[in-house]
Structure 1
Amino acid sequence: MATTMLHAPALQVAHWLNTPVPLTLESLRGRVVVLHAFQMLCPGCVSHGLPQAQRLHQLFPPEQLAVVGLHTVFEHHDVMGSRAALQAFVHEYRLDFPIGIDQPDGHQGVPLTMQALRLRGTPSLVVLDRQGRVRLHHFGAIDDLRLGALLGQLVGEPLPPAGDAPAAAGCDDQGCSLPVTA
């Protein structure tokens, strides 16, 4: 059975790094998108998630796969909340893929994109197919081979003709998707 998932909600980003123009998920349609949510002080992000995202960015042609970082601060706001701190971190770790700073909720709680994507923490990975449908929603470290196999499959899928309606929610060998309610 084919994987059928819902489209991801729009990114709500306060500032962008490593891109001359703000990105939208709509502008990335036609490419597989790997959205990596992280925090600077998250050990799993620094040791696994960010190096994995950087490798993906280097390995796949940009016209096939877009890697987008999402710095989503839900704790330690005073330390990680500044753009300057993130810029220094990105420079020090030599991250060169686009990184958006998730829009704060205004109360030092869970940032807006993190809420909309229903992320449970960091590192989190959301993979979108070429039509913008969520094909993987994962919390924690994920094995390179498992992720690579999925991305190879998605990059190889044909893009349907314009005007085709997205498929409804359903199940496949990887699990079942649930409709997202507002």
Structure 2
Amino acid sequence: MRIGRALLLTAVTLASAVTLSACDDGGKPNGSAGGNYVTGAAGISTVAQGSRAEAPKLDGETVDGKTLDVTSLKGKIVVLNVWGSWCPPCRNEAKYFAKVSKELADAGKDVAFVGINTRDNSKQNATAFEENFGITYPSLYDPDGKLMLRFPAGTLNPQAIPSTIVLDKQGRIAARTLVAINDEQLRSMIDPVLAEQ
């Protein structure tokens, strides 16, 4: 029985290593991503303006009981952050999202932040998370992960939480990361899209 568990643990460890190494291929096109993504050293993938895919329709009830349709934000850059209150990496990065969203709002930049809260069994946990970390932007409440399944294959891994996607002003996917990030990495995803004409 111990040998079987050891083999299983080794297999899981190897699979995890392969998965993590796929995020960092030195800036080469990532053919396994199912798109025209180029992944940089920090695991942040970008798509050239002419090769971007339209984001799916993301709409529904928010954590605070309102409704939101992300397509109503076209004309702005939209930062989508997939998170759960149960997720330690989500808790680690939340302060950076609160900070950057406030900085950009204070600077009058045309950037909207939207969370996608997933796999939380109650809105109470999600609301407490937002209050604890100073998250002031809305989050769609997606306990079953159905919104994440709307993304085209290879765009967003439903198992990769947290994940962040940046949409350009036309509602197309410009950048993504499937790992937790800090404020500098988040700005490195947003600033090039802000600079586009």
Aligned match of 1:70: 116
Q: Aligned residues, how many?
A: 143
Per the normalisation by structure 2, the TM-score is: 0.64
Match for 2:100 among 45, 56, 65? 56
Aligned match of 1:100: 140
Superposed CA RMSD = 2.3
Match for 2:128 among 66, 85, 88? 88
Residue 103 (structure 1) shift: 5.6
Confirm or deny: 8 A CA contact 2:57 2:70 kept in the other structure. Answer: yes
Looking at structure 2, the residues matched to 116 and 128 of structure 1 have their Cα atoms a distance apart, in angstroms, of: 15
Tell whether 2:157 aligns with 1:116. Answer: no
Q: Secondary structure at the match of 2:67?
A: coil
Residue 94 (structure 1) shift: 2.5
Looking at structure 2, the residues matched to 69 and 29 of structure 1 have their Cα atoms a distance apart, in angstroms, of: 16
Q: Secondary structure at the match of 1:69?
A: strand
Q: Write the letter of the residue equivalent to 2:195.
A: G
Q: Secondary structure at the match of 2:164?
A: strand
Aligned match of 1:9: 56
Q: What whole-Å deviation, never above 9, does each CA across 1:34-74 have from its counterpart, x for those lacking one?
A: 000001011110012x122111210113651001111011x
Q: Write the letter of the residue equivalent to 2:100.
A: L
Residue 100 (structure 1) shift: 1.1
Give unpaired runs (5+ residues) of structure 1: 74-79, 105-110, 159-182
* Bigger relative CO (Cα 8 Å, ≥ 6 apart): 1
Q: Secondary structure at the match of 2:53?
A: coil
Select the structure of larger CA radius of gyration: 2
Q: What whole-Å deviation, never above 9, does each CA across 1:61-91 have from its counterpart, x for those lacking one?
A: 3651001111011xxxxxx311122222322
Q: Secondary structure at the match of 2:91?
A: helix
Looking at structure 2, the residues matched to 37 and 51 of structure 1 have their Cα atoms a distance apart, in angstroms, of: 14
Give unpaired runs (5+ residues) of structure 2: 1-46
| More off after superposition, 134-143 vs 35-44 | 134-143
Confirm or deny: 8 A CA contact 2:100 2:183 kept in the other structure. Answer: no
Match for 1:44 among 89, 94, 105? 89
Q: Write the letter of the residue equivalent to 2:57.
A: A
Q: What whole-Å deviation, never above 9, does each CA across 1:117-148 have from its counterpart, x for those lacking one?
A: 33332110011011111011211123533431
Per the normalisation by structure 1, the TM-score is: 0.69
Which structure is higher in helix share?
A: 2
